[in-house]
Amino acid sequence: MSKLPLSGIRVLDLGHLLPGPLCSVMLADLGAEVIKIERPPRGDVNRYVPPLVHGVSPYFLMINRNKKSKLIDLKDPKGKESFLKLVESSDILIENFRPGVMKKLGVGYEKLKAVNPKLIYCAISGYGQEGPWKDVAGHDLNYLGLSGLLYPTAAKSERPVMLPTQLADIVGGSLLPALSILAALELRHKTQKGMFNDSAMMPGTMALLIMVLGRVLMTGQEMKKDEDRMTGLYPNYTTYLTRDKRAMVVAAIEPKFWNRFCDVIGKPQYADWIPLTDPTGFPTPSLAKCAPSKLKKMRGLIQVVFKTKTQRQWMKIFASQPECCCTPVNTFQEAVKFLEKLERKDLIEVPDASGNLFPQLLFAWGNPDLSRSQHTMPPTLETD
């Protein structure tokens, strides 16, 4: 194993819930020494989120492997003194308190900067460190709603669909902050100075809508369910139910994929449903002007075809047809099994002291050598 990219870098993780801890575990996987600062007497509440497997919360394990831990009370003078000593020898600090909390505790950025001018301080919050919303409480679902991301999931009087993930926490609160930290590390090599990173989850979430925002900002047009390419308007980019009430995804954007798909389902005549002449496969002017009623009718015709077979039967058919862009909608367990079929190194097993193995998902760094070869369980609580 070559030297890990962040070996020799020390991170203080004051994060809680998902954003901060997920951000720091990415750095830990890359070789950083991450010290998780937990509040006495019981530490991170995520340690106790059920179900417990061999006494461990899977939720806590997934975002806290490869870390050390210290119980430190920042309201106690001795605890604060111990914390400041750690800051002196650290490179990065991550916290996701509401703006002003660290300053009230006497350990805000200006205080820590005086202790360690090279410290990279990443503050993760809902709406940013400044502005009229900085003190407003919020969680992932609030940011998803405010960002507009949930709006296209509802049709007419239906309520928006709740997504089974925390996109705002993961993207705006973890991935983008991790990227900003890595950029700050590179800049520090050149300037020998640290910096303050203000990472806001609600604006960060809107990075997921980057293509949509281009249209909204320039035309003012909204995007509703079944009224846009991205929300199911076009028959060649949507989902269909099967006979057993499972679902298949069709994403045959390019004409060559669409033509092949129509051949495979036994309806080659459907390939001419609209003149797709743009070599990129994206909606041409003629497609954009196509009446929604015609598109709805074509979706209905294809839905009839899909209802003739079960999902498993369709999977068997498309398994030998790589030029169709037609795949199943998996359950979570099916998704894990599919990931194993890719024969990559995205799944690992982390042993505890008793030899129990805990499955874990690594991050797709693109090169396995960038990540640790041996992973450790989350730390037990250690009183400073």
280 three-state secondary structure: coil
CA distance 65 to 21: 10
Q: Which backbone phi and psi does 154 adopt, to 5 degrees?
A: -110, 145
Active site residue 140: no
| Per annotation, catalytic residue among 13, 44, 91, 169 | 169
Tokens of 195: 């910096």
**Short-list 63, 56, 59, CA closest to 19:** 63
Kind of pairing between the strands at 237-241 and 247-251: antiparallel
Tokens of 255: 């004409």
CA distance 160 to 139: 17
| Per annotation, catalytic residue among 16, 139, 346, 384 | 139
Q: What is the DSSP letter of 95?
A: E
Q: Which residue has the tokens 């575990």?
A: 25
Radius of gyration of the chain measured on its C-alpha atoms: 25
Q: Which residue has the tokens 């609580």?
A: 381
Active site residue 139: yes
Encode 194-233: b = buried (16+ Cβ within 10 Å), e = exposed.
bbbbbbbbbbbbbebbeebeeeeeeeeeebbbbbbbebbb
Which residues belong to the active site?
A: 139, 169
